[in-house]
Chains A and B, each alone.
Chain A
């Protein structure tokens, strides 16, 4: 395969900031990311949603860049910028024409230490975030996801949605937010990534000059509670007005650093087809559920996480088909996989799809930078550069082995979204 990925270099500043650089000169663009190793995973009860709210407050200004100033600056430069909070991390990024990248770098250095958290702005943002949650609640599948995650994780922070519970969004104070910011936003808990059209030595010097003077603090102790082992299958049912039923089945899987994670990724490719073409109609689950007209759609999710998480399959039922029918089929497919494993043809397809999907997902500097930032959060230095080799090194025996060890009833969480008659609402 032609390499579009020149050498990645890693550096650590004296204050603990990790820097990852990759020159890509195919377009006059630079993508600049700063990521913090804190997310909803690290939130105690009463503070759910705080990481995401802090992310919003980072757009509310510093002394140097008042609220709204950077929105205009970045747009004026023809760039894009945004941020997102995940269970394990919070990421901020700007992608700009290469000759305009300084403003983004200065902004991230400034708000790593100098965000204001104005009390009035905090209150105004409280209603914005509650509105964001209410918008999510308008989707029935949000309620299902929230209940399933809550059932799967009784103790660990993965149990609540990233947006947080409304009761916490109403009760948290400006000082709670500021304390969370001051504790977690420091160089030793952060990574800065640049990918694009620059000279690495000059870029590193610029980063050093902007970030080097930020106070060095030790990496914060992150709030995290270990989930006790699951003692048997768990089930939840959600009822919402509507006409469409959904069925979700999850199995506990290891974290991204574990050698089995990539084997489960290949297993998922065979089962659901995700990771290859966008709509995999030859996958086992499409053939068994959609082609047979039980489901209108089926999808799966396997995401790399710091702690053990879930491999989830979700089925959208057709009218007059029941979740029980979907479950019967799914369990039969899992049993078949555990009995017979996968064919050589399926393995070849998974490998080719992995190669294609990796090529597609790394063609922009923004996507490459995200991959590299993620490698820091996951403590996996070669997460990006070694990803394809790891994936294509998986054998059919590996897939059979992980199917037998992880897709087991005792480690299963099942959720059903049962639509209720909208006319009966409130009766």
Chain B
């Protein structure tokens, strides 16, 4: 059997190279599979767009694959699909994310297409109009999606209009209608470049060969116009409970989205907050919230909490889907669990269970190329150090009950949260609660 300790990605088995154009390349050989995965990021997310152009970064990311100076839309996609490869680009808040996958024998054509589409896009007008139409259709469809509407209302209430997190990466019908091809070209010229790019390659490849391929493709990329990095500040936390109601006609169920400002990935108490979140709405069957709302009261199929944690103040979210008659009861139950989390230290058993859960699940998360690449990318992107995974167990077991209580109190306050509900016309309790 392969030694697991030896196979955890660490600075001894990850090949890390910094190119002189600013690209950081990390390669991990995974000989147990037949494929290869590339995961990359550039500083070109929605944080670099103006509110009146909301959605520009994600449209630009999608449009990279619609035509280049060398090849047409059909030629690009034929070159990928003929070898069963995937390549996609997606605009997130801080970064543009690139994801690619191919049989290991096809790493070179995959990298060549990634290089060409990142550096030489032409944003052909006919494809831009098509993409815009597809985006508008998606937005129209989502405007009738209760989960989307509740999440959007929560986000807009939690972050002021001056904050980049107020806006979704997909924009809205007005802003998408106002964007043109020139906006895409300008955004590309100003923000897409090699400086700060992280590229991770994981799969059945030889490190030296892969490094040479990257050198021959992306190695000479330069963009002197590329802007500097923008960060997101912490906004003011909500004072008092802010409730939002969104009526979505013709629906059977309401979606609840409750939010507070959570820690950034680099925060000192990030891992303690993650354990607090797990106790609240993840561990076992959706934590304490799942036990109360689903298991004991039978109010919902899903009721859970989630804490992301990226480059800025991502929200700490509780989500639930309930019958309109049960909205008030579900919200009260969730608030009671949050109150308990911030007023009582978790038990010895809760802490031990979650420490075991956090450390024990690592092998499963590192089984696939995607899982390995995602962890290596996070270690580089958040400056965690390449031995982070090796040291992870010790970090988790150093967390105390006071740490968990402190983190919960730092970020959560049941009397200062945003509570958004989206669903059908309330017939009594839903309206009052929401």
Chain A residues close to B by CB (< 8 Å): 1-2, 4, 25-29, 59, 67-68, 71-72, 75-80, 95-97, 100, 123-132, 134-135, 137-140, 197, 240-244, 273, 276-282, 290-291, 293, 296-297, 316-319, 348-349, 352-357, 359-360, 363-365, 422, 425-426
Contacts and interface: CB of A to CB of B under 8 A. Distances in A.
B367 interface: yes
Nearest to B66: A281
Nearest to B129: A293
Q: Which 10 A-B pairs have the closest CB atoms?
A: A78-B360, A356-B84, A26-B32, A241-B250, A71-B284, A296-B137, A132-B301, A127-B298, A124-B298, A134-B253
Interface centre among B143, B146, B252, B255, by most chain A C-beta atoms within 10 angstroms, is B252
A426 to B, nearest CB: 8
B354 to A, nearest CB: 8
A68 B103 contact: no
22 contacts: A28-B4, A71-B285, A78-B361, A79-B360, A80-B364, A127-B299, A128-B301, A131-B323, A134-B252, A134-B321, A139-B145, A276-B81, A277-B86, A279-B86, A290-B130, A291-B130, A296-B133, A318-B133, A352-B82, A359-B33, A363-B34, A364-B367
Nearest to A296: B137
B212 interface: no
A28 B5 CA distance: 10
A75 B275 CA distance: 13
Interface of B: 1-2, 4, 7, 32-35, 73-74, 77-78, 80-86, 88, 101-103, 129-130, 133-134, 136-138, 140-141, 143-147, 204, 249-253, 255, 283-285, 291, 294-302, 321-323, 353, 356-364, 366-369
Given A77-B356, A242-B144, A296 B138 contact: yes
Contacts of B361: 78-80
A319 B81 contact: no
A68 B283 CA distance: 11
Contacts of A243: 140-141, 143-144
Interface centre among A72, A277, A352, by most chain B C-beta atoms within 10 angstroms, is A277
Nearest to A240: B250
A316 B395 CA distance: 48
A325 B359 CA distance: 54
Contacts of A349: 81-82
A25 B1 CA distance: 5
B152 to A, nearest CB: 15
Contacts of B78: 282
B367 to A, nearest CB: 5
Contacts of A26: 2, 32-33
Given A4-B32, A77-B360, A78-B360, A135 B321 contact: yes
Contact of A359 (B35, B77, B80, B297): B35
A72 B360 CA distance: 13
A22 to B, nearest CB: 14
Contact of A319 (B136, B145, B294): B136
Nearest to A70: B284
Contact of B2 (A27, A71, A124, A278): A27
Contacts of A354: 84
Given A27-B32, A75-B353, A296-B134, A282 B81 contact: yes
Given A130-B323, A319-B133, 19 more contacts: A28-B1, A68-B284, A72-B284, A76-B353, A76-B357, A78-B356, A127-B298, A128-B298, A131-B323, A138-B252, A242-B250, A273-B81, A276-B84, A348-B82, A354-B84, A355-B103, A356-B102, A422-B144, A426-B249
Nearest to A72: B284
A72 B129 CA distance: 51
Nearest to A291: B130
Contact of A352 (B73, B83, B86): B83
B81 A241 contact: no
A311 B32 CA distance: 35
Contact of A4 (B33, B86, B321): B33
B274 to A, nearest CB: 14
B35 A356 contact: yes
